[in-house]
């Protein structure tokens, strides 16, 4: 079992140790007799850093703990200069360790605040590279409760309470009334004690005084299966996050030439305007299609008791084509409209007034099948797409043939 130096001093960034094992594995790694490198555990992510010996140094990219308590340091490259017995010097990435201490101690404070204020216990803790989260066992969680827990946590931080690490027996721990007792059958428990505020069993690295957490900023919360997940950031992460938020908000405000606090109002106004313009546009297009349809119908002679309209457009989308076909077949009875557009997408729309002999859906299927397109529809209205604009004219001609044959009953 590796001697876990980080259990006794979270601020130990440099240490000397001896190599005990170079595990035979595809992934280069080394095991030491003692280490200050924290392995991923208890919700906290691992340290990184450097292990150096006489002949060179090795980057530690990940640290994990085996079930029997050995800490495995994964290295960027095979440690060819190391063997059991080699003396090494380990250096932890200080910035990363400090950040992890701020997040983890911050978590203890925030979790205790939720218990003290609302009796909401934390059931799990997750630390990511960007943000951290706790899962609260509660059927409901309100916005004001989150704000109160955040404010209370920051008060505890401002009071700069001492945070002590102690080792106690399991019996003693039972008498102390810990916020959370680990399920493991260990006789010695490591206790994180925030003076007169929180006691919990934990193996993580922590600050010495709550003031070192800096601050806690709660972010979003969401309902999860067993309760609520609350995202938060502490210390420098909180400042970085707030800075990023501010930049995004400022960019948005600049687009609206507004103050940042007016951005939601400006967005609401813009959305309302978009909605109203969209409605106006639809109405205008409808009126335009009605006028165009009336003009076409007036210019079209009736032959054999019906009006047959065959037209090819360009620069017209299929929706506008459908709208026109709809108007043509509704404004006059006994009308058949075979209309198409060559661009932006070569498309066809076949439509007829109700009660005609043809089946537009079947006709469309037959036509697009011949020209390698896709389409279909109902008896009175069908649409289709063609692979090239050159197919549009012959496709309409074929549609016309089929419709004519249906009318004459051949
Ligand atoms: Zn902890």
Cα of 111 to ligand 1 centre, how many Å?
A: 10
Cα of 192 to ligand 1 centre, how many Å?
A: 8
Q: Is the pLDDT assigned to residue 410 strictly greater than 60?
A: no
What would the two tokens of residue 150 be? 């955040």
Q: What is the pLDDT of residues 105-121, one digit of tens each?
A: 999 999 999 999 999 99
Structure letter (DSSP) for residue 33: S
Query: What is the reported pTM?
Result: 0.78
Residue 276's H or E segment, with its range, is: helix 263-299
Q: What is the pLDDT of residues 332-363, one digit of tens each?
A: 999 999 999 999 999 999 999 998 889 999 99
pLDDT at 107: 98
Cα of 191 to ligand 1 centre, how many Å?
A: 9
Cα of 125 to ligand 1 centre, how many Å?
A: 8
Tell me phi and psi for residue 247, to 5 degrees: -65, -45
pLDDT at 184: 63
Cα of 299 to ligand 1 centre, how many Å?
A: 83
CA 77, distance to chain mean position in Å, is: 33
Which of 318, 328, 317, 380 is closest to 351 using CA atoms? 380
110: number of Cβ within 10 Å: 27
**Contact in structure between 242 and 215 (CB atoms under 8 Å):** no
Give the torsion through C-alpha atoms of 311, 316, 319, 322, to 10 deg. -10
pLDDT at 176: 83
CA 139, distance to chain mean position in Å, is: 24
Cα of 21 to ligand 1 centre, how many Å?
A: 29
Tell me phi and psi for residue 371, to 5 degrees: -105, 15
Distance CA 217, CA 73 (A): 32
Cα of 31 to ligand 1 centre, how many Å?
A: 25
pLDDT at 406: 80
The least confident of 84-88, 141-145, 218-222, 404-408 is 404-408
Residue 118's H or E segment, with its range, is: helix 94-118
pLDDT at 321: 95
Q: Is the pLDDT assigned to residue 28 strictly greater than 70?
A: yes
243: number of Cβ within 10 Å: 10
Cα of 55 to ligand 1 centre, how many Å?
A: 38
Cα of 277 to ligand 1 centre, how many Å?
A: 54
Cα of 245 to ligand 1 centre, how many Å?
A: 28
CA 125, distance to chain mean position in Å, is: 19
The least confident of 30-34, 183-187, 325-329, 394-398 is 183-187
Cα of 386 to ligand 1 centre, how many Å?
A: 63
pLDDT at 185: 65
Residues with CB under 5 A from ligand 1 (ion): 202, 204
Using CB atoms within 10 A of its CB, is residue 252 exposed (0-12), middle (13-18) or buried (19+)?
middle
* 159-to-45, 152, 375 alpha-carbon distances in Å: 27, 11, 71
Cα of 108 to ligand 1 centre, how many Å?
A: 6
Using pLDDT thresholds of 50, 70 and 90, give the confidence band for residue 386: very high
Cα of 206 to ligand 1 centre, how many Å?
A: 8
Q: What is the pLDDT of residues 61-75, one digit of tens each?
A: 999 999 999 999 999
pLDDT at 161: 98
Q: What's the half-sphere exposure (Cβ side, CA atoms, 13 Å) at 34? A: 13
Mean pLDDT of 382-386: 96
Q: What is the pLDDT of residues 143-202, one digit of tens each?
A: 999 999 999 999 999 999 999 999 998 888 888 878 777 666 677 889 999 999 999 999
Cα of 204 to ligand 1 centre, how many Å?
A: 5
Average pLDDT of the chain, as a whole number: 94
Cα of 104 to ligand 1 centre, how many Å?
A: 6
Q: Is the pLDDT assigned to residue 409 strictly greater than 80?
A: no
Cα of 250 to ligand 1 centre, how many Å?
A: 36
Cα of 202 to ligand 1 centre, how many Å?
A: 4
């Amino acid at each position: 079992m590796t001697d876990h130096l980080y259990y006794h001093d979270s601020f130990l960034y440099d240490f000397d140790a001896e190599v005990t094992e170079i595990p035979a594995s595809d992934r280069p790694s080394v095991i030491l007799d003692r280490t200050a490198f924290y392995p991923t555990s208890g919700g906290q992510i691992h340290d990184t850093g450097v292990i150096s010996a006489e002949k060179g140094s090795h980057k530690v990219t990940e640290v994990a703990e085996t079930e029997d308590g050995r800490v495995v340091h994964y290295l960027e490259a095979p440690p060819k200069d190391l063997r059991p017995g080699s003396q090494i010097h380990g250096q932890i990435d200080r910035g990363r360790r400090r950040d992890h201490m701020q997040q983890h101690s911050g978590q203890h404070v925030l979790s205790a605040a939720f218990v003290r204020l609302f009796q909401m216990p934390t059931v799990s803790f997750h630390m990511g590279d960007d943000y951290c989260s706790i899962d609260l066992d509660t059927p409901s969680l309100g916005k004001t409760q989150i704000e109160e827990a955040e404010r209370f946590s920051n008060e505890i931080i401002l009071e700069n309470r001492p945070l002590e690490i102690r080792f106690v027996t399991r019996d003693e721990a039972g008498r102390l009334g810990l916020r959370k007792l680990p399920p493991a059958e260990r006789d010695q428990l490591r206790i994180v004690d925030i003076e007169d505020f929180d006691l919990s069993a934990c193996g993580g690295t922590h600050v010495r005084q709550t003031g070192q957490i800096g601050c806690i900023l709660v972010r979003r919360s969401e309902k999860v299966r067993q309760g609520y997940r609350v995202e938060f950031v502490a210390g420098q992460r909180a400042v970085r996050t707030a800075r990023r938020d501010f930049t995004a908000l400022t960019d948005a405000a600049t687009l609206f030439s507004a103050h940042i606090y007016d951005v939601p109002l400006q967005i609401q106004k813009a959305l309302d305007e978009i909605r109203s313009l969209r409605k106006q546009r639809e109405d205008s297009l409808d009126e335009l299609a009605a006028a165009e349809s009336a003009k076409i119908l007036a210019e079209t002679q009736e032959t054999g008791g019906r009006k047959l309209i065959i037209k090819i457009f360009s620069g017209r989308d299929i929706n506008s084509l459908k709208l026109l076909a709809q108007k043509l077949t509704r404004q006059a009875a006994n009308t058949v409209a075979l209309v198409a557009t060559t661009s932006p997408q070569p498309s066809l729309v076949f439509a007829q007034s109700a009660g005609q002999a043809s089946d537009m859906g079947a006709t469309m299927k037959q036509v697009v099948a011949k020209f390698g397109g896709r389409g279909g529809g109902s008896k009175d209205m069908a649409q289709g797409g063609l692979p090239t604009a050159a197919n549009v004219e012959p496709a309409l001609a074929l549609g016309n043939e089929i419709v004519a044959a249906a009318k004459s009953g051949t």
